[in-house]
C-alpha cells in the first residue's frame, strides 16, 4: 500500500516544475444526466483550485482531460437514430460532447476556455485519435495564449481510452501525453479505473505526475477515516448506506462490500444505518433469517412473492435479483451480529397508496400490499439522529429516500440535518460520498456544512474498503520532485 505522506502534490511543487510547461490536468467532469445536461456542477467546480494554482505557478497551457457518460459503439447494421447515425460504428455521441462543460468552466473562471471538439470544421468525427491530437496541437499553437485553459473532448469517444491496458490504449495514452510536459491527477472519481488510458497508462509517458488539490483533499480525509478505525480508543464510526439497490454484479464494489469489509475494524458502539430501497432486502432477510441461514435454495422455497410483499408491499425491488440481494443482506446481518455491530433498519416509512387520485404521503410502521414506500419515516430519523450523537465520523453513502420528489424528501433532509448538527456541535467528521449523495446534500443547501462532499462514488467506497486507490501507485513521490526535470 502506498505511503500517502510520500506522495507529491501540486501545492508542494516548486514553480520551476510548472512554469513554461503545458500541463495535462486529469479531472472528473462526468456531470451529465441521461439527456446530456449538466445535473450538478460540483465535479467541475472542485477543479477551480487546481486550475488557479497552475496559473499562479506559470503553466504555459492547462489542458484538461476527462470523460463523461458511456458512449456506445453503434452497430453497423442498426445505426443510431438521428444525427448520431452519421457516425455509424463509432463511439461519438453528440449528447456526450463536453462543450457544456467548457461553457460551465468559462462561467466559473470568468475567462476564455478553449474547447477542442472531436468533430472537424465539416462536422466529421476524428475517428483516428492521432488525427485529433495533431489537430489539437496545431490549434493550440495558433490560438492558445500562455496560461489559458483548454478542454479536450470526451476521452471515451476513442476506444484507446477504454482499453488503456492494451496496445490501442498504450498508443492513445502516448499520443495524448505528447500534448503536455506534466500530469496532474485531480480526477478522484475515476482513480480506481486505471484501465482508462488517461488514468493509468498515461503516467508512463510524462516526466512529472502528481496529485491535484481536490484529489489531495479527498485522500487526506479518507486516509484519516481509514486509519482512525484501527485506533484502540476512539469515538464511534457511523456508516449510512442507502440508495436504490444492492449491487450484486461481479467486479463492482458495492456499499455492502464496503460495509462488510469495514466491519473487520469496527467495534462495539459503531453503527451501520441502512435506508432507501436498499433497506428492503434487509427487512426481508431480517424477517426470514432462519431461512437465509439454510442457504439460497432453501430460502427460496419459503420466501415467495407473497411473503416479500407482506413486508415491503409494492415498493421498488429488483425482482430478477431479489433472492441474491436477500442473501447478501442476510449475510451482512449475520456478520454484524457476530461482531456486535449495530445495523439499524427503518422502523417506519413514508408511503402512498397505489391508485390514489393524488399521491399523498402518510407514515406507517408496516408496509402493506398496495403501498409504495419512498422514504424513511420520522421515527427512523429521530432514532438515527440520537444514535449520531458523539460520533467521530459519519459517512453518508446514498439518499435514504426518493428525495428528488418533494413529497418523499423529508427523511433524507432530516438525516442530512442531523449529520450537520453533529458536525458543527461535536466536531464530527462528515463525508457525503457519491454523486447522488453530493447532489442531494447540495440541493438541500448543506454542501458547505459537511467536512467533505466527495466527488467520488465507487472511488470513495474502494478507498474506504482498501485504504487506497490504484491510481495513487502511479504517481511521483516527493523525493523525485525535489529534482527539476
**DSSP codes of every residue in 391-426:** -SEEEEES-SS-TTSGGG-HHHHHHHHHHHHHHHHH
- Predicted pLDDT at 1: 66
pLDDT averaged over every residue in the chain? 90
- Domains, the chain: 4-215+470-481 (3.40.50.1260), 236-389+393-427 (3.40.50.1260)
User: Which 3 state secondary structure label does DSSP give 61?
Assistant: strand
Query: Given this model, what pLDDT does residue 225 score?
Result: 87
Q: How do residues 385-409 score in pLDDT, each as one tens digit?
A: 999 998 999 999 999 999 999 999 9
- pLDDT number for residue 37: 72
If you average pLDDT over residues 449-467, what whole number do you get?
87
Question: DSSP assignment, residue 476?
Answer: P
Residue 210: which pLDDT band, with cuts at 50, 70 and 90? very high
User: Span 90-109, mean pLDDT?
Assistant: 91
Cell readout for 135 is: 489537430
Cα-Cα-Cα-Cα dihedral of 435, 382, 349, 339, to 10°?
70
Helix (H, G, I), strand (E, B) or coil at 125: strand
Grid cell locating 379: 421515527
Question: What was the pLDDT predicted at 360?
Answer: 85
| φ/ψ of residue 427, rounded to 5 | 55, 30
Spatial separation of the C-alpha atoms in residues 76 and 88, rounded to whole Å: 6
pLDDT at 80: 54
Band (pLDDT 50/70/90 cuts) for residue 93 is confident
Q: Average of pLDDT values for 420-449?
A: 92
How many Å separate Cα 193 from the centre of its chain?
A: 12
- Looking at residue 455, its pLDDT comes to 86
Q: In whole angstroms, give the CA distance from residue 84 to residue 78.
A: 12
**Lowest-pLDDT range of 71-75, 129-133, 283-287:** 71-75
Q: What pLDDT does residue 36 have?
A: 64
Question: How many angstroms separate the CA atoms of 198 and 185, rounded?
Answer: 9
d(CA 276, CA 283): 11
Strand partners, 246: none
pLDDT at 484: 60
DSSP string, 314-379: T----TTTHHHHHHHHHHHHHHHHHTT-EEE--SSEEEEETT-SS---EEESSB-TTEEEEEE-HH
pLDDT score, position 105: 94
pLDDT value, residue 331:
95
Rounded Cα distance, 337 and 198, in Å: 43
Amino acid at each position: 500500500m502506498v505511503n500517502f505522506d510520500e506522495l507529491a502534490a501540486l501545492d508542494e511543487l516548486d514553480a520551476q516544475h510548472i512554469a513554461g510547461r503545458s500541463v495535462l490536468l486529469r479531472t472528473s467532469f462526468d456531470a451529465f444526466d441521461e439527456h446530456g445536461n449538466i445535473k450538478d456542477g460540483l465535479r467541475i467546480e472542485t477543479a477551480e483550485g487546481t486550475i488557479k494554482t497552475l496559473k499562479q505557478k506559470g503553466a504555459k497551457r492547462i489542458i484538461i482531460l476527462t470523460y463523461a457518460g458511456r458512449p456506445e459503439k453503434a452497430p453497423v447494421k442498426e445505426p443510431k437514430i438521428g444525427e448520431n447515425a452519421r457516425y455509424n460504428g463509432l463511439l461519438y455521441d453528440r449528447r456526450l460532447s463536453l462543450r457544456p462543460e467548457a461553457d460551465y468552466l468559462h462561467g466559473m473562471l470568468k475567462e476564455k476556455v478553449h474547447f477542442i471538439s472531436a468533430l472537424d470544421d465539416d462536422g466529421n468525427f476524428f475517428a483516428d485519435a492521432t488525427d485529433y491530437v495533431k489537430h489539437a496541437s496545431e490549434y493550440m499553437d495558433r490560438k492558445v495564449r500562455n496560461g489559458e485553459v483548454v478542454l479536450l473532448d470526451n476521452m471515451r469517444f476513442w476506444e484507446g481510452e477504454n482499453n488503456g491496458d492494451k496496445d490501442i490504449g498504450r498508443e492513445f495514452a502516448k499520443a495524448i501525453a505528447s500534448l503536455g510536459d506534466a500530469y496532474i491527477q485531480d480526477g478522484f472519481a475515476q482513480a480506481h479505473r486505471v484501465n482508462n488510458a488517461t488514468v493509468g497508462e498515461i503516467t508512463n509517458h510524462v516526466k512529472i505526475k502528481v496529485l491535484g488539490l481536490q484529489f489531495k483533499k479527498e485522500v487526506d480525509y479518507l486516509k484519516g477515516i481509514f486509519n482512525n478505525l484501527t485506533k484502540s480508543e476512539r469515538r464511534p464510526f457511523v456508516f449510512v448506506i442507502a440508495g436504490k439497490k444492492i449491487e450484486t454484479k461481479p467486479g463492482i464494489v458495492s456499499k455492502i462490500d464496503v460495509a462488510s469489509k469495514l466491519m473487520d475494524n469496527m467495534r462495539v458502539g459503531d453503527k451501520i444505518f441502512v435506508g432507501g430501497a436498499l433497506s428492503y432486502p434487509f427487512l426481508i432477510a431480517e424477517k426470514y433469517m432462519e431461512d437465509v441461514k439454510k442457504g439460497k435454495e432453501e430460502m427460496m422455497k419459503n420466501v415467495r412473492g407473497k411473503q416479500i410483499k407482506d413486508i415491503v408491499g409494492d415498493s421498488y425491488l429488483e425482482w430478477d435479483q431479489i433472492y441474491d440481494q436477500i442473501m447478501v443482506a442476510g449475510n451482512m446481518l449475520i456478520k454484524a451480529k457476530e461482531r456486535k455491530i449495530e445495523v439499524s433498519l427503518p422502523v417506519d416509512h413514508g408511503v402512498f397508496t397505489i391508485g390514489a387520485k393524488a399521491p399523498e404521503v402518510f407514515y406507517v410502521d408496516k408496509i402493506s400490499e398496495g403501498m409504495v414506500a419512498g422514504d424513511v419515516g420520522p421515527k427512523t430519523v429521530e432514532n438515527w439522529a440520537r444514535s449520531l450523537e458523539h460520533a467521530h465520523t459519519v459517512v453518508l453513502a446514498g439518499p435514504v429516500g426518493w428525495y428528488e420528489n418533494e413529497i418523499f424528501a423529508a427523511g433524507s433532509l432530516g438525516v442530512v440535518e442531523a449529520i450537520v448538527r453533529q458536525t458543527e456541535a461535536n466536531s464530527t467528521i462528515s463525508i457525503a460520498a457519491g454523486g447522488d449523495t453530493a447532489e442531494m446534500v447540495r440541493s438541500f443547501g448543506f454542501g458547505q456544512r459537511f467536512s467533505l462532499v466527495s466527488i467520488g462514488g465507487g472511488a470513495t467506497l474502494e478507498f474506504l474498503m482498501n485504504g487506497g486507490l490504484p491510481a495513487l501507485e502511479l504517481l511521483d513521490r516527493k523525493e523525485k520532485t525535489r529534482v527539476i526535470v
